[in-house]
Amino acid sequence: MAKRNGQASTASGRRTFTEEFKQEAVQMILDGHSVASVAKNLGVGNTNLLYRWKAEILARSGPAAKALDSQVLELREELHRTRRERDILKKALSIFSQQE
């Protein structure tokens, strides 16, 4: 079994990943990177695998991690609304400056 970057191949050719590798991948997702980009950057072909790792790690982490995950979601929604408001204000400013 040859190890490479947190990955190991078994005799059947199936890859296994170390717990540290899984935690690092999940942390990247929690930091805001998309699952697809994390999968591509780490060489994990199946995004479903990353979703499963995330669910397993969050389940072990308990309610504190789930609360953080929901807080991240709320903050992303707030950021989206704020950016939309900013864009509207920019357009309004350009319209009013052209009228003068």
Neighbouring residues of 25: CB distance < 8 A, sequence distance ≥ 6: 38, 42, 44, 50, 53
Question: What are the two backbone dihedrals, phi and then psi, of residue 8, each rounded to the nearest 5 degrees?
Answer: -140, 145
Q: Which of 22-26, 37-41, 67-71 has the lowest mean pLDDT?
A: 67-71
What are residue 9's DSSP bridge partners? 15
Separation of alpha carbons 89 and 84, rounded Å: 9
Query: pLDDT of 25-53, one tens digit each?
Result: 999 998 889 999 999 999 998 899 999 99
- When the pLDDT of each residue in the chain is averaged and rounded to a whole number, the result is 85
Average pLDDT over residues 60-68: 77
Supply the pLDDT for residue 3.
Answer: 44
Supply the pLDDT for residue 34.
Answer: 93
